Amino acid sequence: MRHNPKKILLRIFELLIIFIWVFPLIWMVITSLKLEQDVITKTFTFWPRNPTFANYTKAFTSTYILNWMGNSFIVSLGAMLITLVVDAPIAYAFAKIKFRGRNVLFWAVMGGMMVPFQVLIVPLYLQFNSYGMINTLAAALLPRVALPIGIFILKQFYEGIPIDLEEAAFIDGSSRYRIFSKIILPLGQSAMATVIILSFINAWNDFLWPLIVINDTIKYTITVGIANFQGTHGTQYSLIMAGAAVASIPQILFYIFFRKKIIAGIATSGLKG
Amino acid sequence: MIPGNKDTRDGIVFSIPFLFVYLAFMIYPLLSGLYISFFKWDILSSANFIGFTNYKTLFTDEKFYTSLWHTFEFVLMTTPTLLVVGFLMALAVTGTSPYKGILENIFFFPYIFSMTVVSTLWAWLMQKDWGVFNQALMHINLQPVSWLTNENLAMWSVGLTTLWWTAGFNMVLFSAGIKQIPKEVYESAAIDGATYLQSVRHITIPLVRSTTVLCLILQIIASFNVFGQVYVMTGGGPHGTTRVLVQYIYETGFRYYKMGYSAAMSYILFLIILGVSVLQYALLGRKDQ
């Protein structure tokens, strides 16, 4: 079996696919290490002639990339925290409290997942315009806090928590609020982690809304900033690639630490960017 | 056991925080968007009620039709390819290859990058004069290709970028589906002499049907909403041949400040996507029976 030529061919094919699939990312790094004149040149070379970190230095010093990443952190963290604060209690209510109108309310909330964000951009813009909040990070993050999919994930998990635990606590005289904070929240940590990751990524990758609501270059989020790189730095491809590489560091770290959670989150929720 | 008389009060109290943001940032804009779509409004001056005029104009607006068509084009290009590639990836990573762990990571990895990073990176790879794709073509004495500046090719190039970026997402869904198929089914098929391709065709494909439906619907919705890749890579060009509906909505609203008209168009897009979602429930519902 070991020397089956068909299998060897298949392995070679797989290695080739692996190379093709990572190549764009390798090329991003290689380009970012090249000098400008070695990128736009008639004498193309694959490897950098004079490997340099100059583009990275330049990206940090002569662009707003650190501001943009900071802005994206504020927006994503803010969206994530508010999402947790509002999603967890209602998910608990849907899972464990038999109140009137629960089913109707649940479907009204889940129906929100079908609304494409594009439908909301004009009215949201006018809404934030009337509050005088255009060009603020708060405006960039607030429309991202109502995340029905987060409720769905948490509700599924909370439903699996045995009712006996709650009943025992009720007999001891605990209130709903105590049960929620002392029993449900600690037990639901893993589902919470999934929601944290999904809402963070969701907000971090947001593009259309910050593009609309933020005007000042220094207040851009990283996605808008990188998109505007091409406009402002034209053909400085090695600088653009250095910027793109720096902008991806948080996601790469995120992937390394939470790979399993991210994949499990997608497999259970089908959240699509 | 649990005292029932407080359930309604507790239910409402626990729901209030979410309902507040949901009303403020979903329900209210959704309704006010519909309202605005009946007005002629450029923000600076006051709004004029014009009834269904925006919707009527829309049906005679050539740019609207071409943008809608480009969106359909993108949906038709990307949906089948992303499903098939995602499925093939899932077969590879659930198979017996010693590289399946690496393959799974490599296939999924591009998905974590943000759309703008992916788009600027691929715009550079496909750059006409200095991009590595054309450098490679010229190296083997072929003509360079105008990936993003040829009217017939630009949308395919954006589609290829999207394939690289998100096929791994479909792979995750498909491989979750494949892993649920009991091993015994394959073992007994192998005993009966089924080849690999036969067991894929007669076992895997029929048994992941519900995953396929889910992927299909998610993919269609995602493709209908395409904007960022096109906006960054081609800007809608060359000559508007890749301008998609969301871009036209964006430009109408925020470059020409025709708020009412933009809102009306976004409602048409909403109706189309709603139609697709209804189809989803029709299909999934039939499966459950």
Q: Tell me the three-class secondary structure of A157-202, residue by residue.
A: HHHCCCHHHHHHHHHCCCCHHHHHHHHHHHHCHHHHHHHHHHHHHH
Token digits of residue A253 = 């770290």
Task: Tell me: do B221 and B251 sit in the same domain.
Answer: yes
Q: How does pLDDT run across B103-149, given as a tens digit for each residue?
A: 999 999 999 899 999 999 999 999 988 899 999 999 998 999 999 99
Percent of the residues in chain B that have a pLDDT greater than 90, as a whole number: 58
- Residue B277 pLDDT > 50, yes or no? yes
Residue A90 touches partner B, C-beta closer than 8 Å: yes
Structural domain that includes position B18: 1-36
Q: End-to-end CA distance of chain B, in Å?
A: 36
Q: How far is B152 from chain A (nearest CA, A)?
A: 23
- Residue A230 pLDDT > 80, yes or no? no
Residue B11 lies in a domain: yes
**Count of domains forming chain A:** 1
Residue B168 lies in a domain: yes
Residue B14 lies in a domain: yes
Question: Considering only alpha carbons, which residue of chain B is nearest residue A16?
Answer: B103
**Nearest by CB to A99, which of B7, B99, B172?**
B7
**Of B32, B89, B117, B284, which to mutate for an interface test with A (greatest number of A Cβ within 10 Å)?**
B117
Task: Tell me: do B114 and B219 sit in the same domain.
Answer: yes
Task: Tell me: do B22 and B110 sit in the same domain.
Answer: no
- Residue A273 pLDDT > 50, yes or no? no
Which DSSP symbol is given to A236? -
Residue A46 lies in a domain: no
- Residue B164 pLDDT > 50, yes or no? yes
Residue B102 lies in a domain: yes
| Averaged pLDDT, A208-215 | 94
A213-222, B31-40, B42-51: least confident range: B42-51
Q: How far is B184 from chain A (nearest CA, A)?
A: 23
Residue B100 lies in a domain: yes
- Residue B33 pLDDT > 70, yes or no? yes
The answer, yes or no, to whether ipTM is higher than 0.90 is no
Question: Which one-letter amino acid corresponds to residue B233?
Answer: M
Query: Phi-psi category of B112—alpha, beta or left, where left has phi over 0 and alpha has psi -120 to 50?
Result: alpha
Task: Tell me: do B222 and B270 sit in the same domain.
Answer: yes
Task: Tell me: do B139 and B245 sit in the same domain.
Answer: yes
Which chain A residues have a beta carbon less than 8 Å from that of B82?
none
Residue A47 touches partner B, C-beta closer than 8 Å: no
Task: Tell me: do B30 and B141 sit in the same domain.
Answer: no
pLDDT bucket at A235, cuts 50 / 70 / 90: confident
- Residue B208 pLDDT > 70, yes or no? yes
Task: Tell me: do B19 and B157 sit in the same domain.
Answer: no
Residue B41 lies in a domain: no
Going by C-alpha positions, the residue among A17, A18, A39 that lies closest to residue A28 is: A39
CA separation for the pair B262, B267 (Å, rounded): 9
- Residue B286 pLDDT > 70, yes or no? no
Quick one: pLDDT at residue A196? 87
Task: Tell me: do B58 and B18 sit in the same domain.
Answer: no
Q: How does pLDDT run across B209-257, given as a tens digit for each residue?
A: 888 888 888 888 889 889 999 999 998 888 889 999 999 999 999 999 9
Residue A204 touches partner B, C-beta closer than 8 Å: yes
Structural domain that includes position A94: 62-269
Task: Tell me: do B22 and B98 sit in the same domain.
Answer: no
Q: What is the mean pLDDT of chain B?
A: 89
Task: Tell me: do B30 and B61 sit in the same domain.
Answer: no
- Residue A27 pLDDT > 70, yes or no? yes
- CATH number of residue B138's parent domain: 1.10.3720.10
Residue B177 lies in a domain: yes
Question: Which one-letter amino acid corresponds to residue B261?
Answer: Y
Q: What is the mean pLDDT of chain A?
A: 88
- CATH number of residue A76's parent domain: 1.10.3720.10
| Averaged pLDDT, A80-84 | 93
Which DSSP symbol is given to B96? S
Q: What are the residues whose beta carbons fall under 8 Å from the beta carbon of B52, sequence distance 6 or more? A: B38
Question: Considering only alpha carbons, which residue of chain A is nearest residue B102?
Answer: A18
Residue A220 lies in a domain: yes
Q: How does pLDDT run across A14-25, given as a tens digit for each residue?
A: 999 999 999 999
- The pTM for the full model equals 0.90
**Count of domains forming chain B:** 2
Quick one: pLDDT at residue B1? 43
Judged by CB atoms closer than 8 Å, whether chains meet at A15 and B166 is answered as no
Contact B107, B168 (CB under 8 A): yes
Residue B273 lies in a domain: yes
Q: How does pLDDT run across A88-108, given as a tens digit for each residue?
A: 999 999 998 888 889 999 999
Contact residues, B window 150-169, toward A, CB-based 8 Å cutoff: 164, 166, 169
Going by C-alpha positions, the residue among A160, A163, A198 that lies closest to residue A179 is: A163
Q: How far is B159 from chain A (nearest CA, A)?
A: 15
Task: Tell me: do B146 and B228 sit in the same domain.
Answer: yes
CA separation for the pair B230, B237 (Å, rounded): 9
Token digits of residue A184 = 């449900």
